A and B are shown apart, each in its own frame.
Chain A
Amino acid sequence: MLQPSDDEEISPVFKASVHDIRYFTALLRGVNFVNRATVTITDRGLTVTVEEARTLLGTAFIFSDIFDEYFYHSESPPPAPSSQDSQEGEVVDNAAFEVPLNTLIECLNIFGTVGPASTNTSTGKYKKWRKAGDDSDHDNGDEGRGRAGMSNGAHNLGVGARGIDSYFGGPEKRTGMRMTYVGSGYPLTLLIAEDALGPTSTCEITTFDAEPHLELEFDNSQMVLKIILKSSWLRDALSELDPSCDKLTFIGNPPPDASVSNSRQNPKSRIGVQPMLRIQATGTFGSTEMDYPNDRDVLETFECTRAVKFSYRCGHISRTLRALQSSTKTSLRIDEHGLLSLQFLMPSPKPQGAQSEVSDAFIEFRCLALDDDV
């Protein structure tokens, strides 16, 4: 649906700006395991969706309030808002396009100021978002080395410059961005500037028409297991698994005081009490089981209606690690059919206390269970 060019200047479909792109980039990186991502623009924000092997679906929910300025103008004419893009179903009035995610992230990091790829698992990582100037040199140095790929040199330069600034308490230098999407068939335009006086960069990224995606609806009424826990617990558990493991099993048992479940899932256990949550993996050299007790320090929420045991491919679960590493809390849900939903709360840089719950973006992964027979 192309419009005359003078119209575009006036009302592009999507326009957003942010003064610090790091949070936005971190969210994108969380789902950067498949290059082609579908970006859906709605009134309330963006969703970035990737899919792998028709089994795993990763979605980053980026709410509009993380942007300083967010403008969405429906591409479809106002009288008939539901005519065009309706992949999501729930929100009819949205625009969608596909974009190479790697390219988008590289463009955002064109000044090397986005910071490290979230491969490092150092704790308290999210703190840096609270105030842009307060990341320590150490953090950046460590993680800068871990950053693979292009723009490495620029990246390090940027780190150095910022590090010095933070020592002198000078004005915070943050890379800002203005993102424009004129409409279907137009590229996604990024205007990135390190500061007002410095250079700016304009990137145009080709967009593609959105293709229909795997639909994995999580039905809360069929939910059998719901756990909320600190991300660090899950992160440590997954990182301890032997790389040779190919199958990961989540086993949940109702809390002891609940109705007794008759199907004991794992008779091997020599612990008297059934573990409420067990993560189990089998690899070439043996197996690993991790049991988590009913302790508020570990599992903040634990709801389990019946004994459940579902297995997933380790390779898929490990796709979530990047998002997991930069998140603070994880919600793990499994429904009756074994559909796993992992939601990672990505702490937002904005310090508002009350509102932060609302504006924190999150990344969700949904993964189908392996057949039991396999």
Chain B
Amino acid sequence: MQVTLDSFALKSFTKSLNCLSRYGEELTIYATPETFSLSATNLSKSAYCRFKYEKQFFSKYVLNEQKSTGTEWGLDEAISVTGQMLIKPLLSILKHRTVEKTVEKCEMSIIEGNLRMEDGSPVEDNLVVRLYCKHGVVKTHRLLLLTPTSLMAPGVPDAYNESNLTIGPKAVKDMIEHFPLARGVKSDPQLIWSFGESEVELRSLESSIDSKGKAQLITELTISAEEFDVYNVYASPTTIAFHLREFNATIAFAESMSLSLNIRFTDPSAPLFIDVEGDSLEALFVISTSQVHGAVTGAPSQYYQPLANKKRERDETPVDQNRVKKPTKVAQRINKLESLPQSTQVVRPTPVVQRTESDMTMPPPSFIPPAILPHNPFQEPLFWPSSSQLSAANGVAFQGTGLGLEYMDADELANMLEGEGEEVAYDFSAMVVLPVNPHRSYVRRANFRVLSKSEPTCTTT
């Protein structure tokens, strides 16, 4: 594979890499004859990011057809080249301050190890980044390329009850800036977003305190839906919560490219999808969300649903998946044996039933069309929610407050904490009456900023 970027395209490419590096450490390259995709998944597999460049983006795009790794993956259609590598070294090459000034052309090629037989150099695949600078200086960086053990792919969004928002990056940034977020690598705050009929309410999640108990500050911000260029909420209010770290990376990217964000989400436990489209560029960001307990009432929630809990080893029960949906991983590993769907748009994640909550507001059970049930009944999700999104302290805190799930009786609680998952899920589904959301058919389309921009109200308790 060989691609060539001119200096303009290189700038955009570097911005993408910068964004990818904030999603995950490992970059997966997936090149087909028409598109060149870069993707990254974070460690807990709760966020996924993919940049797909059209062939036209590159001044030269050649895919070597001699050896197709696609066949290994059971891809019939595709000649494709895949590779996996650490983002950091590549980014540090392309982000170097001299690159912007002097590089005229950047050529990237994947050289497969077995093609390099001139000398006894190692047979790993290499990503060769060759920078052609002014005055004929050529800088060649060889980076080790691993064969990806798996391709990550996000679940397909469910179009049935999808909400659809479009907003410029600046506007989102203005909203998020109101929330004092602790700095630091480990800090990964969550925000609760309530999309109402005409207002959007943002609230910091009080569980986002750090282990020292700091940041016991809840900020609430209400903003008019007119801030959004497009505002279609399938059922208002919809309340979702998600982590900001990756979301911020997306915003920063969109802002640097002056592209607006198209946000899609379905229900509180399904991932949030963000599309950013530019010239010859299609970026997809998927961030898992979590349900917020009792959020529909608008009262400050007292409980939150952790993304991870200790009971995740329990068996999945596909029967129940449309009852209680848990935050699922946004990216799934694709096994070699499975058929790989077209380009990395893939398999519906099998939702994992992990724990129950008695009064959570649910979408109607029929919301998942049968068509998106897992293709392979024997397929198991290989990624489970992991605890990386939450500190141990949070887990402890949850257990403390979790006992306050006063709607459960002791047996259920015991079941929840220790019992078999199937049983719990079964009991639960038998017991809970699922409310049908009266607003489900309500779809609102916002005016395009006809009215004066409303001032966001900021309440701090």
Contacts and interface: CB of A to CB of B under 8 A. Distances in A.
Interface string B96-125: 101000100000000000001011010000
Contacts of A267: 118-119
B136 A298 contact: yes
A291 B140 contact: yes
A285 B89 contact: yes
Interface string B119-155: 1010000110000000111111111100000000000
A240 B93 contact: yes
Contact of A291 (B98, B137, B142): B137
Contacts of B119: 267-268
Interface residues of A, number: 22
Given A240-B96, A242-B89, A267-B118, A290 B138 contact: yes
B441 interface: no
Nearest to A294: B136
A289 B133 CA distance: 13
Contacts of A268: 116, 118-119, 121
A293 B137 contact: yes
A230 B266 CA distance: 59
A109 B65 CA distance: 64
The DSSP consensus for interface residues of chain A is mixed
B139 A291 contact: yes
Interface string A20-61: 000000000000000000000000000000000000000000
Contacts of B118: 267-268
Given A236-B98, A286-B143, A271 B138 contact: yes
Contacts of A285: 86, 88-89, 143-144
B139 A290 contact: yes
A292 B139 CA distance: 9
Contact of B140 (A242, A290, A298): A290
Contact of A288 (B98, B116, B139): B139
B59 interface: no
Contacts of B143: 285-286
A219 interface: no
Contacts of B121: 268
A83 interface: no
Interface in A302-350: none
A239 interface: yes
Contact of A286 (B116, B139, B144): B144
Nearest to B101: A236
Interface string A260-295: 000000011001000100000000011111111101
A297 interface: yes
A292 to B, nearest CB: 5
Contacts, number: 63
Interface residues of B, number: 24
Nearest to A271: B138
Contacts of A239: 96, 98
A298 B136 CA distance: 9
Interface string A235-254: 01101101000000000000
A276 to B, nearest CB: 10
A240 B98 contact: yes
Contacts of A297: 135
A239 B116 CA distance: 29
A49 to B, nearest CB: 32
A286 B145 CA distance: 9
Contacts of B92: 242
A286 B135 contact: no
A290 B98 CA distance: 13
A178 B385 CA distance: 70
A26 B155 CA distance: 59
B138 A287 contact: no
B141 A287 contact: yes
Nearest to B118: A267
A336 B355 CA distance: 73
Contacts of A286: 89, 126-127, 141-144
Given A240-B96, A267-B118, A267-B119, A288 B138 contact: no
A295 B136 CA distance: 8
Given A239-B96, A242-B89, A242-B92, A287 B142 contact: yes
Contacts of B98: 236, 239-240
A125 to B, nearest CB: 15
B178 to A, nearest CB: 29
B7 to A, nearest CB: 16
A288 B137 contact: no
Contacts of A288: 93, 139-142
Contacts of A271: 138
A295 B135 contact: yes
Nearest to A232: B98
A282 to B, nearest CB: 9
Nearest to A289: B140
Contacts of B93: 240, 288
A275 B96 contact: no
Nearest to A121: B97
Interface in A183-241: 233, 236-237, 239-240
Contacts of A275: 138
B138 A291 contact: yes
| Most chain A Cβ neighbours within 10 Å, of B93, B121, B135, B140 | B140
A268 B98 CA distance: 25
A278 to B, nearest CB: 9
22 contacts: A236-B98, A240-B139, A268-B118, A268-B119, A271-B138, A275-B138, A285-B89, A285-B143, A286-B143, A288-B140, A289-B139, A289-B141, A289-B142, A290-B138, A290-B139, A290-B140, A291-B137, A293-B136, A293-B138, A297-B135, A298-B135, A298-B137
5 nearest A-B pairs in the assembled complex, by CB-CB distance: A293-B136, A286-B143, A285-B89, A289-B140, A291-B138
Given A290-B140, A295-B136, A298-B136, 7 more contacts: A239-B96, A240-B96, A268-B116, A275-B138, A285-B86, A291-B139, A295-B135
